[in-house]
Amino acid sequence: MPDLGAQEVPGDTRAAAPPATGLFNAIFGRGSLPGGADAAWLQALLDAEAGLARAVERAGLAPAGSGAAVTEAARAADFDVARLGELAVLTGNPVPGLARELARRVAPSAARAVHRGATSQDIMDTAAMLLAGRVIDGVVAGLARSAEAAAGLAQAHRGTIMIGRTLLQQAVPITFGLVAAGWLAALDEARAGLVTVRATRLAVQFGGAAGTLASLGEDGSRVVALFAEELGLAVPVLPWHTDRLRVIDVGAALARAAAALGKIARDVSLLSQSEVGEVGERVSGGGQTPAPPGGIRRGGSSAMPHKRNPVAAVSVLACTRQVPGLLATLVANAEQEYQRAAGAWHAEWEPFTALLRLTGAASSWAAELLTGLTVDGQRMAANLAATEGLPLAEHVASLLAGVLGSAEEAHDLVAVAGERALSAGLPLRDVLLGVPELADRLAAAGVTPEQIEAALEPTGYLGAAGAFIDAALAAHESAGPPGGSAGSRGDNPTHPPGGQ
């Protein structure tokens, strides 16, 4: 996944952020918020203030050069995050302290453009939308990489037969290509949802004290449009201080992506169990490369030298399993009082940030997982053969229903055969053809051994698997390249954004 801190965006004043450090950040913060959440938020807040200053100048409400001066001063690396955090305690949010500090860093004439007409929530919400856009771009890129890998797996393994499993039990034969096609379809749908949210639901927030922009008089609406244009965000119909549907939409789109990624990771974790062994995560050099300092190998265990744990799949799941609760918190906080919430708005910041961070990390891990996935077709065939025909019981029952005249009678006959096969440890074929009372009934119905043999052939019972794979691949192809990094169209078509 690209380093989002290095993207060039018109009007974006972010300095390149160093990788964030921390005990868990390499797992849960991977690829999502370069420099860490605090640095990402701070720069987004400064970008919002700088964009507003440029808009105010363009509206003729501040001296020429004010916007450029504020933009030049709005660099997160020059601000003390800890000090701003201390000041936030006094006001309940970090914006008042940040705005004052930013104003002190420019000439008095330019300071008139800082925070002009805004309330703290205007800057916080706009920064949240900027932050969401930057992370969504990265998530979309990760989903695109994963989808390409899944498409390759679907195509390469369209004929690789394996056992399908329902309720964790063996069911009927499928192909691994169909499994990968299912992953592909979900990834493409999740990506499309994020692209839509990116293009239509990320809007500036600018309403002033109580949503009227009274302090700007008749210039308010014009400044809103210029503010949105400067930041490449949508122009909302009106301020959305206590209408939190945009926040929920962002969270829901991220949760959909997390659900798609979590399903893939869960499948891989199950298919890579020692007793199953049908897929695995590629280890560089086949696991023979020298261990890094400390002797720790990819997938290793602190206690069991033989272990090769599916690290990428586990890491995806570690991220995605946190997401549903975070989305629920955003939805619960959407009930807000009057024109400014007392606590519910504030309660969004942490779960919203965590959703961005975790989904970004899951997307990055999943791209690594799928591009390095190994598939053991021989093990799949062996696991299917070990069932000795039982997964084809449905096919045999379908055959018999046509000659016995009753689906129930055919089902019961094959069920009895299956029970005998399990208890005796025999192939289903041997029971159907070797137990006299069953063989006699089949013979009386005109069912030949050759028909039974054909019905027990896995390749003859794959149904529309090939067509479904083709459909998923065609849909993926028609979806085209990811469009998540394009500028938003905005809610108001008369004020298109300047581009991002």
Name the residues annotated as catalytic: 301, 340
Residues with Cβ within 8 Å of 68's Cβ and at least 6 positions away in sequence, in order, are 54
Instruction: Identify whether the C-beta of residue 177 lies closer than 8 Å to the C-beta of residue 153.
Output: yes
CA 236 to chain centre: 26
Residue whose pair of structure tokens reads 């054909």 in the numeric block? 454
Task: Output the 3-class SS for the chain.
Answer: CCCHHHCCCCCCCCCCCCCCCCCCHHHHCCCCCCCCHHHHHHHHHHHHHHHHHHHHHHCCCCCCCHHHHHHHHCCHHHCCHHHHHHHHHHHCCCHHHHHHHHHHCCCHHHHCCCCCCCCHHHHHHHHHHHHHHHHHHHHHHHHHHHHHHHHHHHHHCCCCEEEEEECCEEEEEEEHHHHHHHHHHHHHHHHHHHHHHHHHCCECCCCCCCCCCHHHHHHHHHHHHHHHHHHCCECCCCCCCCCCHHHHHHHHHHHHHHHHHHHHHHHHHHHCCCCCCCEEECCHHHHCCCCCCCCCCCCCCCCCCCCCCCHHHHHHHHHHCCHHHHHHHHHHCCCCCCCCCCCCCHHHHHHHHHHHHHHHHHHHHHHHHHHCEEECHHHHHHHHHCCCCHHHHHHHHHHHHHHHCCHHHHHHHHHHHHHHHHHHCCCHHHHHHHCHHHHHHHHHCCCCHHHHHHHCCHHHCCCCHHHHHHHHHHHHHHHCCCCCCCCCCCCCCCCCCCCC
CA dihedral 92, 97, 98, 101 (to 10 degrees): 180
Among 323, 369, 310, residue whose Cα is nearest residue 145: 369
* Whole-angstrom distance, CA of residue 328 vs CA of residue 323: 9
Distance in angstroms (rounded) separating the CA atoms of residues 498 and 10: 8
In one-letter notation, the amino acid at residue 130 is L
Place of tokens 């809103």: 224
